[in-house]
Amino acid sequence: MPSDKPLYLDMETEKFDASGIAIDLYGSLDEVPNRTSRYTEPTHQHNYYELFLILKGACQHIYRGSESTMIRGDIVLIPPGTPHAYRFQDTISLATLQFHNELMDSEWETLLQNMDYRTLQSRMRTGSRVESIDMLKNDEPEPIPTTHASDLNSQGIIRLRQNECSLVEDYMRQMLTEQIERRYGYTRMKRTLLEQIMVVIGRVQMRQFDNAGKTASWKEEMMEQVLSRIDDNPAEPFDFEQIAADWHITHTYFRRVFKNATGLAPVEYLGRTRVLRALELIQVTDIPVAEAAAQVGIYDANYFSRLFKKYLGYAPRYFKHIAAQ
């Protein structure tokens, strides 16, 4: 009888060098290892930390009882002994960075501790919408309530801005060069680059916590209503200036509150939501791309294509072609 126990991936001796760090960049789905089918990496866990960054395309990440769509710039840190799984798109390009904490120094321990969700939560005055963040939590998963895609969710997914994603990717490529060439001092260089990556991620995480923690109760109510409208019906023609007026605030102030709460401007959040919803339609139905766009409220084909490329790295027709195969 097959076991339901997650596959345990022990440290591969040849994968980790003296630095205690292993970096891999996969430019296509065919390069991604450990798949039981073309699109699926099964539930598994590691005896090391894993940092997972989407560089292009999209994937579904199943972790701590929830499933989230990750796209370019989304990054998550998986602690040791934590079961998780992936479902990939054909267009995926990603980076994985694994490391053993035992090989790091005391300052590294402090850095990880400061990134722990419990440490960050203690700094917040409010945070009902971010209580489920558990980036480094390592206990049993609890039932997770339905949340908006904008929430700093129970998976601890961090949304990097474009310049932040490019910076982290550059550090990773430098690390890969050090790993391949193994020149003098490469172990120290890899550890230094890892620390730089973690500092960037930690700053983003703290920024998101701080912004969420500054949200007053009436702002939380406003955001709850606006996000519910977008998530429930992204095809609706949203007038954010009118929404701001309805709450008796300026559009500029509304935009600031929205960005503080979600990390994205209102138009960007709406665009991301529409693209993800359209991607789902393209993959699970046989409707034309133009109709999928219309069903999420976009009627300009050129704009829809640009938006798709912005968030997923490919035009929508590419995903339609893949779905048809």
Are residue 162 and residue 259 in the same domain, yes or no?
no
Give the pLDDT score at 264: 83
Give the pLDDT score at 207: 77
pLDDT in tens, 157-206: 888 888 899 999 999 999 999 999 999 999 999 999 998 999 898 888 87
**130, part of any domain:** yes
- Mean per-residue pLDDT for 108-117? 61
pLDDT in tens, 213-230: 555 578 888 888 899 899
Q: Are 319 and 91 in contact (CB under 8 A)?
A: yes
pLDDT(17) > 80: yes
pTM score, two decimals? Answer: 0.65
pLDDT(304) > 60: yes
Give the pLDDT score at 283: 81
What's the structural domain count of the chain?
Answer: 2
Backbone angles phi, psi at 52, to 5 degrees: -125, 120
pLDDT(125) > 60: no
Q: Which of 213, 233, 267 is the last residue of a domain?
A: 213
pLDDT in tens, 268-299: 999 999 998 998 888 888 888 899 999 999 99
CA 237 to the chain's CA centroid: 27
- Mean per-residue pLDDT for 112-140? 43
pLDDT(135) > 50: no
Could you give the CA distance from residue 133 to residue 286 in angstroms, rounded to a whole number? 37
pLDDT in tens, 44-57: 888 888 999 999 88
Give the pLDDT score at 209: 67
Q: Which residue has the higher pLDDT, 211 or 44?
A: 44
Contacts of 160 (CB under 8 A, 6+ apart): 73, 74, 75, 168, 200, 201, 204
Q: Which of 195, 213, 231 is the last residue of a domain?
A: 213
Are residue 224 and residue 209 in the same domain, yes or no?
no
Backbone angles phi, psi at 43, to 5 degrees: -60, 130
Q: What is the mean pLDDT of the chain?
A: 78
- Mean per-residue pLDDT for 98-107? 74
Could you give the CA distance from residue 154 to residue 64 in angstroms, rounded to a whole number? 7
Q: 24 - beta bridge partners?
A: 96
Q: Which residue has the higher pLDDT, 159 or 154?
A: 159
pLDDT in tens, 38-92: 778 888 888 888 999 999 888 888 887 788 888 888 998 888 888 999 888 777 8
- Mean per-residue pLDDT for 6-12? 53
DSSP state string for 131-193:
TT--TT--S---------TTS--TT--EE--HHHHHHHHHHHHHHHHHHHH--TTHHHHHHHH
Give the pLDDT score at 241: 93
Are residue 34 and residue 138 in the same domain, yes or no?
yes
CATH of the domain at 314: 1.10.10.60
Q: Are 81 and 114 in contact (CB under 8 A)?
A: no
Contacts of 287 (CB under 8 A, 6+ apart): 281, 295
Give the strand pairing for 40-46 and 7-9.
Answer: parallel
Are residue 91 and residue 235 in the same domain, yes or no?
no
Report helix, strand or coil for 264: coil
Neighbouring CB atoms inside 10 A of 4's CB total 6
Neighbouring CB atoms inside 10 A of 114's CB total 14
pLDDT(2) > 70: no
SS3 content of the chain, % helix, strand, coil (to 5): 45, 15, 35
pLDDT in tens, 306-319: 888 888 887 887 77
Give the pLDDT score at 321: 55
Task: Give CA separation, 305 vs 122, 197, 264, 291, 320, in Å.
Answer: 42, 32, 20, 13, 12
Half-sphere exposure of 183 (CA within 13 A, CB side): 7
Are residue 169 and residue 250 in the same domain, yes or no?
no
Enclosing domain of residue 183 = 7-213
Are residue 204 and residue 221 in the same domain, yes or no?
no
CATH of the domain at 126: 2.60.120.280
Q: Are 305 and 275 in contact (CB under 8 A)?
A: no
Q: Which of 169, 184, 213 is the last residue of a domain?
A: 213
| pLDDT band for position 320 (cuts 50, 70, 90) | low
Give the pLDDT score at 185: 96
**1, part of any domain:** no
Could you give the CA distance from residue 26 to residue 5 in angstroms, rounded to a whole number? 27
| pLDDT band for position 24 (cuts 50, 70, 90) | very high
Report helix, strand or coil for 86: strand
Q: 96 - beta bridge partners?
A: 24, 52
Q: Are 319 and 89 in contact (CB under 8 A)?
A: yes
Give the pLDDT score at 71: 86
First-last CA distance in the chain: 34
Give the pLDDT score at 59: 86
